[in-house]
Each structure stands twice: as C-alpha cells, then as structure tokens.
Amino acid sequence: MDGGGDTEGRRVQAAAYEAFFQATWDLPWVAGAYWWKWFPQHERSGGDGDDGFTPQNKPAQKIMADW
C-alpha cells in the first residue's frame, strides 16, 4: 500500500459496513454488533497505511458514525 489516499480495500470495507447496517438496522432480533479490532489508542489506530481489520480512522468509521 502506498500509505496515502483511499485504497480499494478501504472502499470495500466501507461498502461492507454500509451493507451490514442497511440489512440489519430494522431487524428486531439484532441488538448490536461487536467490531473486531477496535483499539483504545484511537488516534494511533488504522488510518492511512493500515490495511488491517480495524475501521478506525478509515471511511468505515464514518459509516458507523452516520448510522
């Protein structure tokens, strides 16, 4: 990864989060979700140059906040 800008992986991750929320938001049996790889040192997690699972500091985090 080049460490800057938006990558295909980040776009796919954000699209998957959006699809999850659209598909489950109104289901009465869904009471929540556990997001894998959420780190307490938020400002140092994820972001440019990180191709790990965490949505932190990536477009997927904005999707989460929007919902």
Residue 3: the pLDDT is 45
Residue 28: the pLDDT is 97
Residues of the chain with pLDDT under 50: 1-4
Residue 42: the pLDDT is 81
How many domains is the chain partitioned into structurally?
1
Query: Can you tell me the distance from the alpha carbon of 55 to that of 63, in angstroms, rounded to the nearest whole number?
Result: 9
Query: Can you tell me the distance from the alpha carbon of 53 to that of 35, in angstroms, rounded to the nearest whole number?
Result: 9
In a domain, 50, yes or no: no
Residue 5: the pLDDT is 55
3-state secondary structure of 26: coil
> What range does the domain containing 17 cover?
8-28+59-67
Residue 54: the pLDDT is 92
